[in-house]
């Protein structure tokens, strides 16, 4: 049924769906003075959408029996089946499919019901949508696909199901698995970044390109080293991932030096490859030891000392006198401009953009989804204490102490931070 002029009773119908009173819903509809698909002036939700959001199955059935249209959409493209797919109502999704819901409808960012289900891990809903012949290759405006979202979240069964379905449809699996976002991140890259070992295995076993790089030339192995994911590094090297210098002027050992993982450094140094060279300088003339010193990873410094031609004292001296920053691809910081040193002097440098975390909780990758209507991931920051920063060691957030690390840890004074927005996750939102 098409949308008609709203009745004065629309608020009552919405409220009846919200509280979950099917008798009330039926009574309002029987009055003949309100349309079953009336949309609220402010949020544009239909009664069916409200009932789905509130998980009011009895009210949903009344609305369906009264002819609710499953394809009525908000201005941002949101439909009832997207909502049901996001919150995990498999029975409702199947009912909506039987009613003729468009399983490939998109919101303003290109998100679909399949993407919602893949993002939140609802395997049976993904199965229902595939049975309804949904488009598994559909991509959002930024290139994100359902497969990407499953790999990002580590939903391995959904990942395998989508790959199997691609093969059943006789489509090019290599293109499907390797489809990148606009920033060049592939499903394999995001799984490596977020530490999903089994997802990485599934993708590699099905032919994912092991060295497919992001636009900044970072490879899956580079990012796994940067995040300190030893198991994933080991999996990637089984497929001969390149460990040497990348076009961005960095090597995987440079990335690992920033990870804080001594086990990873030990593994790489023992790896039988001439390209794993602790004396190798990046495009800015910095060795892995230089980066480890600047990041305060002194256990890693001690490991690297045993394999380098440069003494620790010489390296420390070079590090303290240099005002050059690490390369942007490493997401590290220089000192804040005009920061005060231990001897009371001032070190001047040009800082990168500094940002602040807001008061909301940051997830494990240092990013937070900003739940604006139809928007995708946004990243927010605030000034944080040293304890907060230590807990975010695997995040794209990097920091620089105002004074020395030990003094900072005692005083709990705030430190300057910045964020690498390239490490952000994707999201399809339905609010």
CA distances from 28 to 17, 78, 105, 357 (A): 11, 25, 30, 47
**Rounded CA separation 315/286 (Å):** 10
- Cβ of 340: how many Cβ atoms within 10 Å? 13
User: Which residue from 271, 309, 264 is spatially nearest to 289, judged by alpha carbons?
Assistant: 309
Among 4-13, 88-97, 331-340, 421-430, the range scoring the smallest mean pLDDT is: 331-340
* pLDDT value, residue 289: 92
* pLDDT value, residue 309: 64
User: Which residue from 75, 10, 8 is spatially nearest to 37, judged by alpha carbons?
Assistant: 10
pLDDT-derived band at 427 (thresholds 50, 70, 90) equals: confident
For every residue of 190-249, DSSP letters joined together read HHHHHT-HHHHHHHHHTT--TTPPPTTS--HHHHHHHHT-HHHHHHHHHTT---S--TTS
Among 55-59, 374-378, 419-423, the range scoring the smallest mean pLDDT is: 374-378
Q: Residues 302-319: pLDDT tens digits?
A: 999 888 764 443 444 444
Does residue 301 contact residue 291 with C-beta atoms inside 8 Å? no
How big is the CA angle at 199 (ends 423 and 115), to the nearest 5 degrees? Answer: 70
Does residue 216 contact residue 422 with C-beta atoms inside 8 Å? yes
The model's pTM is 0.74
Q: Residues 373-410: pLDDT tens digits?
A: 232 233 333 333 444 434 444 444 433 333 333 333 33
- Cβ of 313: how many Cβ atoms within 10 Å? 8
Among 58-62, 67-71, 82-86, 391-395, the range scoring the smallest mean pLDDT is: 391-395
Q: Residues 341-363: pLDDT tens digits?
A: 334 443 333 333 333 333 333 34
So what CATH class is 244-331?
mainly alpha
Does residue 37 contact residue 66 with C-beta atoms inside 8 Å? no
**Rounded CA separation 114/91 (Å):** 15
Average pLDDT of the chain to the nearest whole number: 78
- Domain residue limits, the chain: 244-331, 333-431
Average pLDDT over residues 283-298: 90
């Amino acid at each position: 049924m098409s949308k008609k002029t709203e009745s004065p009773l629309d608020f009552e119908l919405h409220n009846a769906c919200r509280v979950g009173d099917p008798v009330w819903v039926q009574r309002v509809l029987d009055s003949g003075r309100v349309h079953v698909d009336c949309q609220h002036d402010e949020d544009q939700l239909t009664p069916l959408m409200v009932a789905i959001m509130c998980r009011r199955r009895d009210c949903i059935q009344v609305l369906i029996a009264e002819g609710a249209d499953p394809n009525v959409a908000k201005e941002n493209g949101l439909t009832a089946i997207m909502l049901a797919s996001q919150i995990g109502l498999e029975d409702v999704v199947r009912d909506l499919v039987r009613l003729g819901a468009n399983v490939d409808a998109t919101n303003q960012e290109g998100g679909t019901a399949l993407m919602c289900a893949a993002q939140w891990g609802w395997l049976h809903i993904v199965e229902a949508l595939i049975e309804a012949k949904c488009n598994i290759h559909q991509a959002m405006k930024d290139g994100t696909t359902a497969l990407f979202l499953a790999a990002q979240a580590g939903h391995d069964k959904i990942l395998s199901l989508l790959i199997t379905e691609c093969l059943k449809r006789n489509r090019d699996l290599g293109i499907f698995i390797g489809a990148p976002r606009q920033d060049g991140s592939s499903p394999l890259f995001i799984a490596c970044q977020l530490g999903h070992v089994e997802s990485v295995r599934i993708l590699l076993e099905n032919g994912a390109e092991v060295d497919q790089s992001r636009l900044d030339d970072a490879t899956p192995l580079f990012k796994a080293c940067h995040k300190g994911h030893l198991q994933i590094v080991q999996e990637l090297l089984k497929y001969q991932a390149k460990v040497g210098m990348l076009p961005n002027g960095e090597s995987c050992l440079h990335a690992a030096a920033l990870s804080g993982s001594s086990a990873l450094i030990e593994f790489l140094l023992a790896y039988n490859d001439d390209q794993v060279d602790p004396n190798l300088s990046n495009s800015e003339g910095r060795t892995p030891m230089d980066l480890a010193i600047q990041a305060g990873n002194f256990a890693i410094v001690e490991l690297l000392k045993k394999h380098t031609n440069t003494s620790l004292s010489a390296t420390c001296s070079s590090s303290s006198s240099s005002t050059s920053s690490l390369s942007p691809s490493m997401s590290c910081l220089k000192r804040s401009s005009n920061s005060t040193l231990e001897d009371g002097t001032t070190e001047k440098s040009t800082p990168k953009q500094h940002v602040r975390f807001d008061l909301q909780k940051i997830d494990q990758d240092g990013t937070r989804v900003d739940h604006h209507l139809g928007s995708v991931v946004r990243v927010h920051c605030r000034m944080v204490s040293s304890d907060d920063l230590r807990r975010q060691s695997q995040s794209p957030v990097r920091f620089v102490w105002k004074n020395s690390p030990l003094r900072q840890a005692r005083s709990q004074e705030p430190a300057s931070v910045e964020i690498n927005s390239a490490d952000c996750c994707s999201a399809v939102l339905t609010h």
